[in-house]
A and B are shown apart, each in its own frame.
Chain A
Amino acid sequence: MTTEPLSTPPKRKARNFALLSNRAGAAFMLPAGLLVSVFVIIPFFWVIFVSFTNRTLIGPTALNPQFVGLGNYLALFDPATFFQRGQFGFSLILTTQFVLASALIGQALLGLLLAWLIQTVPAWVKRITETFVIAAWILPEVVIGFAWFAFLDYDNGTFNMLLESIGLPPGDFLLQQPFWVIVVFNTWRGAAFSMMLFNSAFSSIPPSYFQAADVAGASSWQKFRDIGLPLIRGHIVTDLILITMWTFNTFTPFLLTNGGPSYRTELVSIYNYRVAFQDFQFGKGAAVGVIMMLINLAFALVYLRLGRKKVPKS
């Protein structure tokens, strides 16, 4: 394209529709922009607006919601009830423990371990391991939720049958240890992502580094600590941030425990669902949603900052 059209009067330019002009770009963006604004931006502001009202789905405040200002937020952070079971603070603490145990310790560590171990095994072992771990990740949530429920059932569950067959007493895990059940469940479910990420990270390290270490007589642990780990530091940060965000927002444990018994597995996402769609308190539910959005925003900002900054190599 020459510079000719630029010198022509604007009126003519409008008639000669250029595919690479700003105007054309805007036209192409328009449908997507409309969709995004209808389904993302408007609901975003709508949720913020609703969070300042006492709107419910049924009952008197459904038709005539009142503006309650910060009422919903103050109720959520009311120090008198904050830490009680079934309250926002309780599920926030529960979620933090859940993220620490299942995402940071469970998924990341297990993923790292698996990724390191499959570096040296025969190719077919590597393939089988990857298949199983990834299967846990890609199966539909409803299917695995039901499968785990059936697996852990006290009366007819496979797990208790296995325990009894080797002479151990059966356990009532879903009722007695519901928190640890969802921790193990989420670790099992999500380790695949960490494993794949670390696997590709380890594969990018030149084999000569390890060969040199072998010549120097380094143990597997020394190679892991002094070569593997430092060289994938950037990947570790990425992994931790992403799985923290995902685990913070995950809803799948609901399929196993419904958030119970007695709120013991009510993560914030489940708490939010309960308040909004089981108790039908839209105003309060929206306030929880806004707080969750802010927490996610914080995660995302940290992630973006770290992504831009070049991670120093030691």
Chain B
Amino acid sequence: MNNRMRALALGLLGASAMAVPAFAVDLDITCRCVIGGVNSATAQWLEEKVIPAFEAANPDINVTLNQFGGEDAQLTQQLALDFSTGAGPDISAFDGFLIPAFAAGGQLKSLDELIGEEYANWEGWDHISDGIRSIMSYDGQTYGIGLGTDVRMIFLRKDLMEKAGLPADWQPASWADVLDAARKLKEAGVEAPLQLNAGVAMGEATTMQGYWMALLGTGEGVTDENGKFIVESQGILDVLNLYKTVYVDEGLGDQRAQLLADGRNRSFANFRDGKTAMLVEGDWFYRSVTAPGAEFAVEDRDNVMSWAKMPAQEPGAAIRDQDFVSISGGTGFVINPNTDTPMEAWKLLSFMMSQEQMTAFQEFQPGIRSRSDVAIPDNPFLTETSQTLLPLTTARPNDPNYNAVSQEIQRMTEAVVSGELSPEEAMAQYKAAVIGVVGEENTVSLL
């Protein structure tokens, strides 16, 4: 560039810098939330509480909420592409299990790198336990702030259980008990008694709410104690055979819901409409999906719905020799590494996660919050489940390859529930695929 060109460029830069008034900072925030749709409470909380209060306190910052109505996997796809090309919202909702893959791929910057001292001095960290903080962390670095955590269980429809002659306080002790109950429900005329998520369309819900919940009951995990991915084992076969029994051999679940593109909503509708009596899901299902006013609201929820602990395959056979299992994850918010205004974005993020705003969120959707100074609302369901299940729970591996392996798990289960492959064939395909993703040296066979 010659001098004249340089002067021109500088001049243009200067002019455009002057043209934008110094006080106008625009922040975008995205979540998979739509008022009146999915995660409506989150959208309402942001739109009605957080943004007005934040804008009042910071008149120089305008905040816009982008309501994303697609699937989880579609938002992941969008964020991966946005964050790698310098586009995207300043702040986004984010599922904790994706942090390692994004961080290792350079699509996220740690808060330390992005914000520095101000992040480290945030008052909130004193009220967030290390366990909760680790949900949004990888390799010793923190990448976002979590909203809270969750636990998983079997949701029950008491009215259908009664119809099938099952006790009001039904609690299975083994997979056999679950299957027996499903058979009784089927005999009593319940269309699709049991829902254990499978398939590609449900995305991470398949891995987390279906496969994991069964696999933990066999005493195994997706990785072994050295962090190697298990690609062949009796546990995997037992889980796949359980799927086969439920969806292929005995028709105890709605096979179509596992295969159709909108299967997850279909499975929610089945529960709402009394076609499914037992559904393995996270407490989000109670807090958000079936809550009054939601699309899949269960009428008279607190009398109709109850829950049971997910049993081990046989008593004592689960990981850590437990009789029952659960797995926890967590979601939160991250800052776009390419944001022009990281300090303002941090201001908003930490404001959202302040005690005042977190407490306000409880009014929209009560839950187990990340901050210890935000009380768990006086809700028997949340108190009981968190007290019972948090001591039993586990977490997914904090591994940058986990997301890719999880997709292979979804494919493996789909191959079985569609009846296209036998459990052995599906596991062989899974083995080949996972070796392709992580390399043979990071896998292990237990057969």
Contacts and interface: CB of A to CB of B under 8 A. Distances in A.
Interface string A224-267: 00000000000000000000000000000000011011100000
Interface stretch (A186-194, A202-210, A277-285, A288-296): A277-285
Interface string A97-138: 000000000000000000000000000000000000000000
Interface stretch (B97-105, B123-131, B221-229, B309-317): B97-105
Contacts, number: 77
B403 A258 contact: no
Nearest to B256: A175
Given A57-B84, A59-B101, A59-B404, A154 B415 contact: no
B102 A58 contact: yes
A61 B404 CA distance: 12
A262 B80 contact: no
A58 B80 contact: yes
20 contacts: A57-B80, A58-B101, A58-B102, A58-B105, A58-B107, A59-B105, A59-B403, A61-B105, A62-B104, A62-B106, A81-B432, A85-B421, A86-B411, A175-B259, A175-B260, A258-B201, A260-B200, A260-B414, A262-B420, A279-B404
B398 to A, nearest CB: 13
Contacts of A57: 80-81, 84, 105, 107
A262 B199 CA distance: 9
Contacts of B104: 58-60, 62-63
The dominant DSSP class at the A interface is: loop
A214 to B, nearest CB: 54
B407 A279 contact: yes
B441 to A, nearest CB: 14
B307 to A, nearest CB: 28
Contact of B73 (A84, A172, A278): A278
Contacts of B80: 57-58, 280
A262 B105 contact: no
Contacts of B411: 86
Given A58-B107, A59-B105, A154 B256 contact: yes
A56 interface: yes
Nearest to A174: B260
Interface string B416-447: 00101100000001001000100000000000
A85 B415 contact: yes
Interface string A76-103: 0000110011100000000000000000
The dominant DSSP class at the B interface is: helix
B429 A84 contact: yes
A81 B80 CA distance: 29
Given A261-B418, A262-B420, A60 B256 contact: no
A75 interface: yes
Given A261-B259, A262-B414, A262-B420, A56 B105 contact: yes
B203 to A, nearest CB: 10
Given A59-B403, A59-B404, A60-B401, A85 B420 contact: yes
Interface in A51-67: 56-63
Interface of B: 73, 77, 80-81, 84, 98, 101-102, 104-107, 200-201, 256, 259-261, 400-401, 403-404, 407, 411, 414-415, 418, 420-421, 429, 432, 436
Given A154-B256, A261-B418, A59 B436 contact: no
Which 9 A-B pairs have CB atoms at the shortest separation, nearest pair first? Answer: A62-B105, A58-B105, A261-B259, A58-B101, A63-B106, A262-B418, A60-B104, A59-B101, A59-B400
Given A57-B80, A260-B200, A278-B77, A63 B105 contact: yes
Given A59-B101, A63-B106, A84-B429, A258 B261 contact: yes
Interface centre among A60, A154, A172, A278 (most CB of B within 10 A): A60
A257 B200 CA distance: 12
B151 to A, nearest CB: 27
A268 to B, nearest CB: 18
A49 to B, nearest CB: 17
Contacts of B81: 57, 277
Contacts of B418: 261-262
B436 A277 contact: no
A297 to B, nearest CB: 28
B256 A262 contact: no
B327 to A, nearest CB: 22
A249 B256 CA distance: 29
Given A58-B104, A80-B432, A277-B77, 13 more contacts: A56-B404, A57-B105, A58-B101, A59-B401, A60-B400, A63-B104, A63-B106, A85-B415, A86-B429, A175-B259, A262-B259, A262-B414, A278-B77
A260 B418 CA distance: 11
A221 B394 CA distance: 73
A2 B418 CA distance: 79
A280 B260 CA distance: 23
Contacts of A174: 260
Contacts of A277: 77, 81
Contacts of B105: 56-63
A251 to B, nearest CB: 16
Contacts of A257: 261
Nearest to B73: A278
Nearest to B79: A58
A62 B102 CA distance: 9
A261 B400 contact: no
Contacts of A85: 415, 420-421
A81 B436 CA distance: 12
Nearest to A62: B105
A57 B411 CA distance: 20
Contacts of B84: 57, 62
A221 to B, nearest CB: 44
Contacts of B404: 56, 59, 279-280
B124 to A, nearest CB: 27
A62 B259 contact: no
Contacts of B420: 85, 262
B83 to A, nearest CB: 9
A194 to B, nearest CB: 30
Contacts of A62: 84, 104-107
Nearest to B108: A58
Interface string A141-164: 000000000000010000000000
A306 to B, nearest CB: 40
B400 A172 contact: no
A249 B299 CA distance: 48
Contacts of B200: 260
B444 to A, nearest CB: 19
A307 to B, nearest CB: 39
A258 B73 CA distance: 13
A260 B407 contact: no
A262 B105 CA distance: 29
B445 to A, nearest CB: 17
A260 B259 contact: yes
